[in-house]
Amino acid sequence: MRSTSDAGGDCQRGGGEEGPPGTLDPTVRDEGSRRRTFAIISHPDAGKTTLTEKFLLYAGQIDVAGAVRGRKTQRAVASDWMDLERERGISISSTALSFPYQGRVVNLLDTPGHQDFSEDTYRTLAAADSAVMVIDAAKGIETQTRKLFKVCSVRGVPILTFINKMDRLGRDPMSLLSEIEQVLGIDAVPMNWPLGLGDEFRGVYDRGRRSALLFRPAGHGSTQVPTDELDLAAALDGGPPVTAHRVRQELELLDGAGVPFDRERFLAGRMTPVFFGSAMTNFGVGPFLDAFLRLAPPPGPRKSDRGLVPPDRRAFAGQVFKIQANLNPRHRDRVAFVRVCCGRFDPEADLTLARTGGKFRIKGSHRLFAREREAMEEAYPGDIIGLTDTGGLRLGDTLCAGPTCHFEALPQFSPECFAAARCPDTGRRKQFTDGLRQLADEGVVQVFTDREAVRELILAAVGELQFDVVKFRLESEYGVRAEIAPLPYRAGAWVAASADALAVHGLVRNMKVAFDHLGRAVVLAEDPFSIRYLQKQEPGLGLLSFADNLFAPSE
């Protein structure tokens, strides 16, 4: 990234053809205030994608909700559009879903939960203004949840928590609240409270409205559930006496000793409002979605090399946070996901690609709903645009109408798995290399060349499942079969010295020199210790360890 010291630069001053520098547009401000852009994060199997599907059900975007796993006759979830996702029952690629709800425009980013695809999640969080953290009531805070929470914390993303699967045998709600506070280091404030646990879970008590919501099962969770609103005494009457006694005691404890909700602390990431429910049965989904719209923040200022950029600046600027090829396999297209950071997007506007200073011609702009899309004639801060890209855009690029700036760079995490990729059909070599180059542009894997083995390419990834995705997509989207074999390397570093200078320095045994897509030399090693040893023994190489840097060297 460029220096952020020039806080008074052109990007901060704003402006463009529609107004003088510094102009703030009230229309942009009003439209931006209607947007809610958020990511859903969780550990695998906590119910994240099921909750996403139920949001669409309650927003009226689908008539019948599917399930992540289930009978073959059930509908597949709308957010998991890739065949491999439906085959394995996991989210592999982040998905953008945009829809209206109660006078708002909701931009929902469904992210992969599996740690092998976490880099895609980290990049997507850069486009979100808030996050919904889904926790399994039986398992509590799990490994991937902690990692994703840390990313949100570093970026200052406020989090709302949905404790899921309350209809199953799980842990005590009080212990779950304590775990959130102890493990994540933030205050957890229950906005509602479960009426019954497991098979006895019948509804929730809204602590703000002082009323109980009782749910009546309907359609095995495929349709909205009928809800009755009662006072607490009436809601508990007729239920198990033990449950009624426990709920009253817990609510008295929360009212007497609990921390009250503080919106400013929530927006600062130091407090999370907590909601209880069951995404599978739809119990508590509607109230949670309504509360989310009240609590989640609209788009705010974004960090750039020119200082904070206000969302209501008249001139448009947006950042590419995801690139996806073959959303529509029939068209073999490539779509760049762009988060609108400020201004009004106009598909007829002249845009500048800040990285090169050259013009970017818009060939198609779309509103996204998983793999479905429709033409987008205008967009405002918080919106996600799908721009047709012929290959000129890269992850993290900033597009501007008017004065240019560079928004805060996207993270690039250290690969821990390496493999050799080979095309057994020499007649399909071009399709093989083109497909890998595209997947590298998307951030699925990093691709290195080995000049001693010209028939092979070296793949680097955060997790081994990414290699399965590469094989699947090469075959299904590019018609190429690939042979992928693991390599023993587990660490690497970029080399600041020239390739010729490498010959002067001695490498540690079992190391390999390769080259990235820009021709920069990298050293691969079987363990991080070897990289550190080489840094100490050969300072002239100027090694920049993968593990020590979130971002690749400047291009």
**What does the pLDDT read at residue 124?**
85
pTM for the full model?
Answer: 0.81
Contact predicate 489/524, CB 8 Å:
yes
- The span from the CA of 136 to the CA of 46, in Å, is 5
**What does the pLDDT read at residue 65?**
59
- The span from the CA of 167 to the CA of 54, in Å, is 16
* Cβ neighbours, 10 Å, residue 540: 11
Show the CA angle centred on residue 72, arms to residues 71 and 77, nearest 5°.
85
| Interval 266-288: pLDDT, tens | 999 999 999 999 999 999 999 99
Provide the angle, in degrees to the nearest 10, between the axes of the packed helices 241-257 and 173-184: 30
| Interval 12-58: pLDDT, tens | 433 334 444 457 899 999 999 999 999 998 888 899 889 999 999 99
| Interval 108-141: pLDDT, tens | 987 764 455 567 777 888 899 999 999 999 999 9
Q: What mean pLDDT is predicted for residues 315-333? A: 79
**Of 59, 101, 95, 98, nearest to 76 (Cα)?**
95
- The span from the CA of 395 to the CA of 409, in Å, is 9
The residue count of the chain comes to 555
Least confident of 1-5, 134-138, 166-170, 547-551: 1-5
Q: Please list the residues that pair with 135 across neighbouring strands.
A: 163
Check pLDDT > 60 for residue 77: no
| Interval 353-380: pLDDT, tens | 999 999 998 888 988 765 676 888 899 9
The first and second tokens of residue 136, run together, are 């399994």
- The span from the CA of 547 to the CA of 535, in Å, is 13
